[in-house]
């Protein structure tokens, strides 16, 4: 990165992607936890998938795996390795 403003632009871009991924994870968790929860628990047991109710499987097992992979992809393709040292391109006058 040549200039300080270019580094700030990249840092802001990375921060927006991180916040967006965190918000997407919250929406995923909220929707899968509450949309797939059984309406009346007292009547019967919920249907199980691999020993877990569907809402738990989506919200607490599959969701974290998916978003961990998305986080790794984000770090690989969006984030850039940059030096935090200040380049002194112009001499002090």
48-49 and 52-53 strand pairing? antiparallel
Q: Which of 61, 64, 72 is nearest to 18 (CA)?
A: 72
Task: Report pLDDT digits (tens) over 14-47.
Answer: 999 999 999 999 999 999 988 877 766 665 666 7
- How crowded is the C-beta side of 51, counted as CA atoms within 13 Å? 1
Count of CB atoms situated within 10 Å of the CB of 14: 16
CA gyration radius for the chain?
Answer: 22
For residue 56, name the pLDDT band (cuts at 50, 70, 90): confident
Are 60 and 50 in contact by the 8 Å Cβ rule? The answer is no
Rounded to whole angstroms, how far apart are CA atoms 41 and 81?
50
> Where are the strands (E) in 6-90, listed by range?
48-49, 52-53
Question: What are the residue ranges spanned by the domains of the chain?
Answer: 4-38+48-78
């Amino acid at each position: 990165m040549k200039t300080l403003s270019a580094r700030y632009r990249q840092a802001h871009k990375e921060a927006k992607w991180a916040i967006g991924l965190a918000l997407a994870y919250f929406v995923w968790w909220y929707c899968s936890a509450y949309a797939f929860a059984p309406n009346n628990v007292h009547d019967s047991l919920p249907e199980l998938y691999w020993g877990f109710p569907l809402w738990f499987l989506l919200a607490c097992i599959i969701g974290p795996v998916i978003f961990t992979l998305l986080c790794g992809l984000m770090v690989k393709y969006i984030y850039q390795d940059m030096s935090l040292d200040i380049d002194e391109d112009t001499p002090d006058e």
